[in-house]
Amino acid sequence: MKVTTVAVDELYPIVYDAIKAHTPAYKKVIQQYIESRSKDLYDIAPFKRLPFLADDINAMFNAIKLDKKKVTECLSHTYYWDMNFNPRAAKDEFTMTVMMIIRYFIMTKDSKNAELSAIYLSFSGRFYPSIHSRKFIYPPDKYRHVMEYVVNNVLTQKFDLKREGSLFGAMRSICITWLNTYNSKFMDPDDEDVADMIQQLHGRIKSFLGNIATQYYAVYNNKNTYMAYNSDSNDDGSFRIADSDSLKAERCVENAMNWITNHGVDQSTCVKAHDSNVKTDEIRTIIESIQDNPDNLRELRTLLSIMVFECFSSSAIKDICSIRFVTFTLAAKPNSKNKNIIKQKDIIESWLDENSPQYRKRKSREATKSSYNKSVLMYYALVINQSNK
């Protein structure tokens, strides 16, 4: 059967007119999609399905003022329309329209919007959500502590997720590689080429989620391996908590991360976290610098996890909403060999070195160094406390 060129000859012209006239509205739809799911997109792992619904599809077509029926009519002229064809996404109006939008941005040398469109496509219904549902029978969000263990203790830098620090970052990396690989093919593709490019993006996402799922289920099926931040010993530096407590602790961490995302830096908490060596405005500046850098997201979650899990494992206190949690967290542990406390201090030290010129100048004095560390710890202990009430 002769391969057709419907995508370029029939579909692209109507998409060209639509996107050229309505690029700002199209970009706004993507922005709204990202903002509405930001908590899950910027999470450290693919915890949730992220369904892509009919309203999401309609929002895109409405934004560019393109009648989906016109796209269907074009696609019905492809050589594969009446075939049991793989990839099925090549018959999907949304997928094919966004593929032509990507072609438009490549042809106009707008690499930024080509990349944004590729990411948008990768999270649409024929890609991430459908692959996720096949790779994870139940969303990993149900057992966050297992996936947290996988990310922090199993995955290496060869995994996009580990290297980039978030689901969005990993998918962006996948899309950039895909675009760089097939950039020239977008110039003058026949319909078989378009289908192949769709299949290649699908395959990369499938491999990405499949590799993580393999590690996730290996750990899940061996429950003795996934105690957060632990080792196989009972020495200081490791801890074990019951599964029920682990789930409760994970929820506390998640609530704190959501609070940080939604509230930014809280002035009243900065006031409570200051002391004679560290002024309120300086605390605010330090916290803003930490949270404004997306690269700190994974370390911030690690810090909060250590604080919560240490309390659950080393103390009779199980109530994060109690002020006793804050007191316990701030209690001096100067010579502790606990690997988690050492990790906690290292994270805060690196943040202070990076974000506070005053700290770098004054840290030679041990009391001042301790004040800065305690202020940052106090801020996040209060955030955990407040966000879980």
- 28, part of any domain: yes
Are 251 and 306 members of one domain? yes
CA angle 37–40–46, rounded 5-degree value: 135
- Residue 278 φ then ψ, to 5°: -130, 110
Is residue 209 located within the same domain as residue 256?
no
**pLDDT the model gives residue 5:** 97
Domain contains 238: no
C-alpha–C-alpha distance, residues 112 and 133, integer Å: 30
Q: Do 264 and 207 reside in the same domain of the chain? A: no
Per-residue pLDDT of the chain (389 residues; tens, 9 = 90+): 689 999 999 999 999 999 999 999 999 999 999 999 998 999 899 999 999 999 999 999 999 999 999 999 999 999 999 998 989 999 999 999 999 999 999 999 999 999 999 999 999 999 999 999 999 988 898 888 888 889 888 898 899 998 898 999 999 999 999 999 999 999 999 999 999 999 999 999 999 999 999 999 988 887 555 544 443 333 333 444 555 567 778 888 888 988 888 788 999 999 999 888 899 999 999 999 898 887 788 889 999 988 888 888 765 666 788 888 888 888 866 666 778 888 899 999 999 988 888 888 888 888 888 899 999 999 999 999 999 88
Q: What is the pLDDT of residue 75?
A: 97
In a domain, 231, yes or no: no
In a domain, 232, yes or no: no
- Say if residue 48 is in the same domain as residue 142: yes
Q: Which domain holds residue 295?
A: 243-387
Residue 363, SS3?
coil
Whether residue 271 sits in one domain with residue 193: no
Where would I find the H helices in the chain?
A: 6, 12-36, 38-41, 54-63, 68-75, 93-107, 111-122, 128-135, 144-149, 160-164, 167-182, 191-220, 243-263, 267-273, 280-292, 297-314, 323-330, 339-355, 357-362, 366-387
pLDDT at 236: 37
140 and 181 assigned to the same domain: yes
User: Is residue 1 situated within a structural domain?
Assistant: no
Domain boundary among 225, 251, 280: 225
pLDDT at 145: 83
Domain end (from 176, 191, 225)? 225
Residue 315 falls inside a structural domain: yes
Pair of tokens at residue 337? 């060999």
Residues 208 and 270 in one domain: no
Secondary structure class of 278 (helix, strand, coil): strand
Task: Say how far residue 22 (Cα) sits from the centre of its chain.
Answer: 29
d(C-alpha 127, C-alpha 112), whole Å: 21
* Exposed / middle / buried, residue 62 (Cβ in 10 Å: 0-12, 13-18, 19+): middle
Note the pLDDT of residue 244.
57
Residue 230 falls within a domain, yes or no? no
78 in the same domain as 34: yes
Burial of 137 (0-12, 13-18, 19+ CB in 10 A): exposed
Helix axes 339-355, 297-314, angle to 10 degrees: 150
Cα–Cα distance measured from residue 386 to residue 67, given in angstroms and rounded to the nearest whole number: 48
Is 48 part of any domain? yes
The answer to whether residues 219 and 76 belong to one domain is yes
CB-based burial label for 82 (10 Å; 0-12, 13-18, 19+): exposed
3-state DSSP call for residue 112? helix
pLDDT value at residue 314: 63
* Structure tokens that stand for 293 in this block: 């850098």
Residues 19 and 167 grouped into a single domain: yes
Specify the pLDDT at position 208. 97
- The answer to whether residues 267 and 372 belong to one domain is yes
Q: Are residues 221 and 250 in the same domain?
A: no
CA distance 42 to 55: 22
Give the chain's domain count: 2
Q: Write down which residue in 225, 251, 268 finishes a domain.
A: 225
